[in-house]
Amino acid sequence: MLEVVVKLALVAGAFALLPLLVGQAEHKVMAHMQGRLGPMYAGGFHGWAQLIADGVKFAQKEDVVPRDADRWVFKLAPGVALVPYLLVLLVIPVGPGGQVALDLGPGVFFALAVMGVGVIGAIMAGWASANKYSLLGGMRVAAQLMSYELPMVFAAASVAMAAGTLSLQGIVGEWRWWWLPWQAVGAVVFFVAGLAELRRPPFDMPVADSEIIFGPYTEYGGLRFALFLLAEYAGIVVLCALTAVLFLGGWKGPFLNTELGWLWTLLKVGVLAFCVIWLRVSYPRMREDQLQKLAWAWLVPLSLAQLALTGVLRVAL
Amino acid sequence: MSGQEIVFTLLGVVAVGAGILVVTTRRLVHAALWLVVSFGALAGGYLVLTAEFVAWVQVLIYVGAIVVLLLFGIMLTRAPIGESADLDSGNRWAALAVAAATAAVLVTVLVMGFGDRRMPLHAGGGSARELGAGVFRTWVLPFEVLSVLLLASLVGAIVLSRSDIGPRDSGTGPRKEDG
């Protein structure tokens, strides 16, 4: 009983802390990459308290619901967007020997299914705002999810086939270093599709701030908007953790797997999160038709090819 | 009643209640959102019956894909905020009769087939392994027949949506191609 409580507390702590760390890293990494200062004043040393200041600002703002909005759906949407990522964190193993809050049999399917639900929050927000820009954004969110969910599931299924299990713990247990080249295509497809599902640049057409003014979130302010932002960063953490666990061997490192397993996982998550920020700084936003083309003409065939390769090798070995 | 049965009954009530709200609400998008609740309760029902894999696939496919597709369709055509007066058609009583009749048939089949026979649940009975063995060993023929049905609907959708791939009109009037 105590073990469960401790684990849940740890997951809650990670859920509260890791997204903020990613957010702070984004401030700093973007500033360095683009040769600008970034936040430097709040808190004194290199603006370390900027996120806290942001949080205080968000909490102070008035909670506004537009007159024509659908009140209930409008208010519910941030929660629907955020909670699924918390649930996914429950099943992600950080270390060997039961270092996971909830060891679920079909863990991969649980993670993907619940992540998909999070997107409904953005769609709800887009519709309930009673704003044409929000509606456009909501539509783009839905279109994006529909095209990128398929390659994501295929890529994850390829690893599950290779490991012969759907349990995330089992997959890491089966993982060997030569899976890196074997599942490389699947890893790239999974990561790119995940980025698109999170609507991160360069796949941020649904929230394109310079043309539809943040799409589904246009009418949101204060804490509810902060919840959406938190959902985005929590989504980055979850995506990076899933990619690390599925494709990069989770807690397996060059040495001290059992003792330092959790550190390897965190390190891989950190490196992947850095890549997410790096991509945001490097690439311009893709157009809607380019987005759809990338999904259907590249990612789906690639993931199918990966599935075939996995199947052939699995039978041959 | 055991705890399991109570939870299962509650989930069933939620699923049916949300289902009724889907067809009676006067707000179009709310109908799609109530469908999410209904599907979610159904997935919970599978979970109680130890069918873990089916439960999460239900969430992945129906909540994550089908409802999103529905919402996309509604938003693409019309997404009115507030109540729409034209959601009811004159067929509502006929629809009610059909729904009641379908339910009656299904309940009769179940009662005649199983009566009050009880099946013991054992953990892992609905796991991916068991399910895969069932589908691809015992029930492989129905499974393949179903995939042919899906293929037919896929071809039909392509034929319906791509009007430019049919035979060209050669002055003899429009010819219809069926999928």
Size of interface A-B (CB pairs under 8 A): 89
Side-chain-side CA neighbours of A255 within 13 Å: the count stands at: 0
Closest to A65 (Cα-Cα) out of A123, A119, A130: A130
Closest Cβ opposite residue A106 in set B30, B53, B67 = B53
Place of tokens 């702590």: A13
User: Which residues are CB-contacts of B126 (< 8 A; sequence separation ≥ 6)?
Assistant: B46, B49, B50, B51, B52, B53, B54
pTM of this structure: 0.84
pLDDT tens digit sequence for A48-78: 788 888 888 888 888 888 888 788 888 888 8
Average pLDDT score over residue span B17-45: 88
pLDDT tens digit sequence for A42-55: 777 777 788 888 88
DSSP per residue over B73-114, as a string? HHHHH---SS--GGG--TTHHHHHHHHHHHHHHHHHHHHHHH
**Which residues in chain B have their CB less than 8 angstroms from residue A105's CB?**
52-53, 124, 127-128
* d(C-alpha A102, C-alpha A114), whole Å: 14
Peptide bond into A78 cis (omega under 30): no
Q: Does B94 touch chain A (CB under 8 A)?
A: no
A73–B124: do the CB atoms touch at under 8 Å? no
Confidence of residue B178 (pLDDT cuts 50, 70, 90): very low
Average pLDDT score over residue span A108-121: 87
Average pLDDT score over residue span B2-31: 87
pLDDT at residue A303 in the model: 92
Q: Is the pLDDT of residue B165 over 70?
A: no
B60–A146: do the CB atoms touch at under 8 Å? no
Q: Is the pLDDT of residue A266 over 90?
A: no
Asked if A144 and A196 touch (Cβ cutoff 8 Å), the reply is: yes
pLDDT at residue B166 in the model: 63
Average pLDDT score over residue span A223-252: 88
Q: Is the pLDDT of residue A260 over 50?
A: yes
pLDDT tens digit sequence for A97-107: 777 777 777 88
Confidence of residue A189 (pLDDT cuts 50, 70, 90): very high
* d(C-alpha A46, C-alpha A39), whole Å: 7
pLDDT at residue B177 in the model: 47
Closest Cβ opposite residue A106 in set B33, B56, B76 = B56
pLDDT at residue B163 in the model: 74
Residue ranges of A 153-172 with Cβ closer than 8 A to chain B: 153, 166
Q: Does A114 touch chain B (CB under 8 A)?
A: yes
Confidence of residue B179 (pLDDT cuts 50, 70, 90): very low
Asked if A68 and A131 touch (Cβ cutoff 8 Å), the reply is: no
**Which residues in chain A have their CB less than 8 angstroms from residue B53's CB?**
105-106, 109, 166
Average pLDDT score over residue span B49-71: 85
pLDDT at residue A213 in the model: 81
pLDDT tens digit sequence for B105-157: 999 998 988 877 877 777 777 777 888 888 888 889 998 999 999 999 999 98
Closest to A247 (Cα-Cα) out of A301, A164, A189: A189
**Which residues in chain B have their CB less than 8 angstroms from residue A127's CB?**
29, 71, 75, 79, 81
Q: Does B68 touch chain A (CB under 8 A)?
A: yes
* d(C-alpha A30, C-alpha A51), whole Å: 15
- Residue of chain B whose alpha carbon sits nearest to that of A197: B64
Ramachandran angles phi, psi of A278, nearest 5° = -60, -45
Burial A162-182 (b: 16+ CB within 10 A, else e): bbebbbbbbbbeebeeebeeb
Closest Cβ opposite residue B68 in set A70, A109, A123 = A123
pLDDT tens digit sequence for A269-297: 999 999 999 988 888 888 888 888 888 89
**Which residues in chain A have their CB less than 8 angstroms from residue B81's CB?**
68-70, 127-128, 130
